[in-house]
Amino acid sequence: MPLGPVMLDIAGTHLTEDDKRRLLHPLTGGVILFTRNYDNHRQLTELTRQIHALRSPHLLIAVDHEGGRVQRFREDFTRIPAMRELGKIWDKQPARARHLARQTGYVLAAELNACDVDFSFTPVLDIDHGQSGVIGDRAFHQDPHAVSDLAHQLMLGLKKGGMLAVGKHFPGHGYIQADSHLQISIDQRSYIDIEMNDLIPFQQMIDFGLAGIMPAHVIYPAVDARPAGFSTLWLQKILREQLQFEGCIFSDDLTMRGAGEFLESMLSRAQAALAAGCDMILVCNNSAGADEILNGLQWEMTATSLSRLARMHARNHSGSLTKLRENGDYVQAVREISGIGCESGDLPLQ
């Protein structure tokens, strides 16, 4: 059964019958995991094994595992620093910051890969404009070239660990104070202002071979009245044609408030996001909405979208975390990144 265009969440640390029913639906193509799905690395590995065993090709398994506030799995995993900590090092020692960014990406990917997770939605390519609470220290830097520099190195580290990178939140979520999880988010800037700043990391990362991009649930009314993730102008004209992005476009969670005010029903959001150009849509923390989409969505996956999704499967599986900890490169990388930003006291964003 080929992969479908819908990525869903699951209830807990093991698959329920309702989970299995949804994951076996032809429209389903992936699973996104959260902190509630994790007890320890052995439980996680068993859960991912069960998910992968359901179908062939196996469903994609993803997670938001950026570091800092957004690290879903903590126990048994290395603490990943907030990306701003790498930006602080870049200000004084750019070569060291690049090295640590690559080591960070390697550790992040290798540990997830050892538990059969296919990829993380990382890196954040947003610019730190100093006024977005939801982005904040998730961003590398206020300088777009520093963001590109460090994100590129992180991507190279992810690749060494067997994973591809997914940049977010196109075309940039760092300028506004509003949190699109909770409210309508509007960025009033002109296109040229966005292009000369926030778009720079996306363009450079695309040139470096970025595999995936997640658009923001933000409205840029000077460009289009629709949020970027529902905008043919942003996704087709600008991202595909102008920036020449050929990778996979993942919607942000369609249950977020930034998407909900635009279209009321989950089915209409799903149809609009796919029609605008998303290859896969995320539906999280709303089982009724997931069922509404699975029961009502009419969508034929193109060969191009299927190829893009197939590319996102993890590579170079390194065995268990126990085996990974016998790898000298991994041990050295953990040692090097373990002290980054320890004073920040980051807490998980659930």
What is the predicted pLDDT for the residue at 347? 39
Residue 1 lies in a domain: no
Q: What is the pTM of this model?
A: 0.93
What is the predicted pLDDT for the residue at 350? 36
What is the predicted pLDDT for the residue at 339? 84
Residue 349 lies in a domain: no
194-222 burial, b at 16+ Cβ within 10 Å, e below that, comes to bbebbbbbbbbbbeeebbbbbbbbbbbee
181 annotated active-site = yes
What percent of the chain stands above pLDDT 90?
84
Q: Which of 46, 64, 51, 65 is nearest to 3 (CA)?
A: 51
Please report, in range form, the residues annotated as the binding site.
64, 72, 138, 168-169
Q: Which of 285, 288, 292 is nearest to 37 (CA)?
A: 285
Please report, in range form, the residues annotated as the binding site for substrate.
64, 72, 138, 168-169
- Residue 238 maps to which CATH number? 3.20.20.300
Residue 344 lies in a domain: no
Strand, coil or helix: 194:
helix
Residue 345 lies in a domain: no
Residue 204 lies in a domain: yes
What is the predicted pLDDT for the residue at 185? 82
Query: Which range marks the domain in which residue 98 is found?
Result: 6-47+55-338
What is the predicted pLDDT for the residue at 181? 52
What is the predicted pLDDT for the residue at 182? 56
Q: How many CA atoms lie within 13 A of 12 on its CB side?
A: 4
Domains in the chain, number: 1
252 annotated active-site = yes
Q: Which of the residues 181, 193, 291, 329 is marked catalytic?
A: 181
Q: Which of the residues 252, 253, 279, 346 is marked catalytic?
A: 252
260: exposed, middle or buried (Cβ count in 10 Å: 0-12, 13-18, 19+)? middle
Point out the residues of the chain with pLDDT beneath 50.
Answer: 343-350
- pLDDT tens-place string over residues 64-109: 999 999 999 999 999 999 999 999 999 999 999 999 999 999 999 9
Residue 96 lies in a domain: yes
What secondary structure does DSSP assign to 47-76, as a single string?
HHHHHHHTSSSPPEEEE-EEETTEES--TT
What is the predicted pLDDT for the residue at 134? 82
What is the predicted pLDDT for the residue at 132? 73
Residue 346 lies in a domain: no
Q: Which of 302, 299, 253, 275 is nearest to 26 (CA)?
A: 299
Is the Cβ–Cβ distance between 205 and 154 less than 8 Å?
Answer: no
What is the predicted pLDDT for the residue at 343? 42
Residue 343 lies in a domain: no
What is the predicted pLDDT for the residue at 184? 76
In degrees, rounded to 5, the angle at the alpha carbon of residue 209 between the alpha carbons of residues 317 and 33 is 45
